[in-house]
Amino acid sequence: MGARLTFGGQLAKLREFRSTRPDAGRIALATVSRHSFSSTSRKMVPCLSTVLQTAKASPVSLTAPVGTSAGRQEPSSLTKKGALQVAEKDVFMKHIGPKLQDMFIDPIAIDQLLEEVNNGLPKRPDGLDTPFSRIGGPTATSTSLASVLCLANAAGVAPEIAIFELYNQLAEANGHPPIERMSLPVPMSKIVDGGMHGAIDSRGKPVTPIQEFLFIPAGYSKWTDALSSTMEATERFWELMDIQGFDIKIGAEAGIISENLRSNRQVLQLMSMVIRGFNGKPPLPGMFIGMDVAASELFNEKSNEYFLGADGIRRFGSENVNFGEMISYYRELQRDFPSIISLEDAFAEEHLEAWEVGFRRLGSDSLQITDDATVTQPHLVSKFIKFGDGGLLTKVNQGGSFTRTATAMGIAAQNNWPRILSHRSSEAADFDFEAIMAIATGAEFLKVTIGSVKGGGGGREARVNRVSDTNVLMEALWKGMNPKHEDWDIFRTFWKGIPEDYRMDGLPYHGLVLRYAENAPAWLKRAQQLMEQRENGHPESYEYDRSPWFI
């Protein structure tokens, strides 16, 4: 079996397979199936699975949900609701499946075929014409990624090898920097759900408008240290909320929700106390904070304003603020909570004026990450690169195909934008593609959810609600963790056949702060200075306040 070979051995085997193009690599079966899976919210989500099989190998499949695309510029489902995903199956069986039959399993050629089929179909009656919107985003995503897995299966190598080789092939064709060796990404671990995923008031407004709050262990030189510190931060957060009397539950998106958390600043105060240490606990010197604002959800196009809730009233005398006030608000948070090093989707996806000013005024203090505004589409990434230093959130379902996703990542890498691999909310697949792609492409970050795991107290109870947490994280948790976390073995899963010479101890990990030791962007230099301050015994000073306002 290929997984027993070394990395170099597997790569050579794959290259020989692709160059000789044996009959064993021809597609013998190409079909789709319709079914549903239980999402993190325990709702049944309709999905489409593409099944591919070559002549002498077992079939492989990959699943994409139907009707969950939300961005205006990302690949869209043909239909938005449940049982109507039959339309996507019909398109595949009529226009795609027959063309794949007897074709050599070449994912880049298959992606090109998907583009040609999509462009050859008539425009949709609703006028929507985003990438792959004519064949359906889920059809494109599931077919493209299934072809990558099918190639690995037919060649007898691990999926990481196929991703590594295909990414570098596209990088060479596009003039982007190649990946020389796989590496482990910095985990960005969501702890609290806010925005429309969190607590909602009687008016239907979010109590804590920012959608996600994350712990980022960017300053550790060992991956196991980064991971154990993240678990420690998670346990501390639960403990601190319990001490302060906050109610706690797990939300539909697997983060913590509390009805009596009343503002964004309250969450940041608690997270900062966790990092600084409390009740005799030492600081977590390499830990930082990230925020996913999901500002498109807060934006009112008619008034051109953003909803900030209690924080807006405190700072500006109104729940609703213009983009200039929004920038002032972010700058205040960066000043009061210096552990913040990343800000995702700070403005609405099409509010370009706000983005351009925001990059200029906020980029020196925190990494400006684009998600909804760029939706893993190469032409949009190229547009936003011009605004300045930033970071690219990457979702393969937004790219629609492996080729588009890898190309968008290549543009980011060429312009020194960190790449953050992420799963779409409430989505699952039969293979953890994003986690493996993060490793195979040397991505700087991987978004995960550990906040739904409750720790502390006498009988520690582990609760895992998100199927998308990475197999790599699981492996580390049960293989090399601090003994105090030995009961986290609920995370144990099957290891995905990663070759011995680049398993856990062989993969490089330097942490983001250390990875850019030279020529670091301004926001990262600020993080490095904060780490030095902590290591010299001078952590940030925060005083807890029971009011919603704090500082």
pLDDT value of position 259: 80
pLDDT given at position 457: 24
Q: How far apart are CA 536 and CA 528, in angstroms?
A: 12
251 vs 187, more confident:
187
pLDDT interval class at 459 (50, 70, 90) = very low
Please give the Cα distance from 126 to 200 (Å, whole number). 32
Token digits for 171? 């990088």
pLDDT in tens, 284-302: 989 999 999 999 999 999 9
Among the ranges given (45-59, 209-223, 507-521), the one the predictor scored with the smallest mean pLDDT: 507-521
Between the alpha carbon of residue 461 and those of residues 224, 240, 247, 464, the distances in Å are 22, 17, 17, 10
> Can you spell out the DSSP letters for 514-525?
HHTSSS--HHHH
Asked if the model's pLDDT at residue 314 lies above 70, the reply is yes
Is a pLDDT exceeding 70 seen at residue 548?
no
| Residue 370 one-letter amino acid | T
Pairing of strands 186-193, 212-216: antiparallel
Tokens 């299966």 correspond to what residue? 153
Annotate 467-528 with DSSP letters as a single string: TTS-HHHHHHHHHS--GGGGGGGGG--------GGGSTTTS---HHHHHTSSS--HHHHHHH
Pair 374, 398: CB distance under 8 Å: no
pLDDT score at 460: 25
User: Of residues 42 and 91, which shows the higher confidence score?
Assistant: 91
Beta strands in 39-135 (DSSP E): 44-54, 60-65
The mean per-residue pLDDT over the stretch 18-30 comes to: 96
Kindly indicate the confidence band of residue 226, based on its pLDDT and cuts at 50, 70 and 90: confident
Superfamily of domain 186-482+509-535: Enolase-like C-terminal domain (3.20.20.120)
Report percent pLDDT > 90 for the chain.
48
Residue indicated by tokens 């929700």: 257
d(CA 346, CA 293): 6
Q: Is the pLDDT of residue 399 over 50?
A: yes
Q: How far apart are CA 366 and CA 103, in angstroms?
A: 47
**What residues does CATH 3.20.20.120 cover in the chain?**
186-482+509-535
Say if CB 472 and CB 184 are below 8 A apart: yes
**Is the model's pLDDT at 486 over the cut of 60?**
no
CB atoms within 10 A of CB 389: 18
In this predicted structure, what is the pLDDT of residue 195?
A: 87
Range 120-140 average pLDDT: 90
Q: 2-157: which CATH architecture? A: 2-Layer Sandwich (3.30)
DSSP-based three-state secondary structure for 57: coil
Residue 412 has pLDDT above 90, yes or no: yes
- What pTM was estimated for this model as a whole? 0.88
Average pLDDT, the chain: 81
Does the structure show a pLDDT above 60 at 515?
no
pLDDT of residue 541 exceeding 80, the answer is: no
Backbone angles phi, psi at 542, to 5 degrees: -135, 140
pLDDT in tens, 333-375: 999 999 999 999 999 999 999 999 999 999 989 999 999 999 9
Helix axes 159-174, 107-120, angle to 10 degrees: 70
Mean pLDDT of 107-113: 98
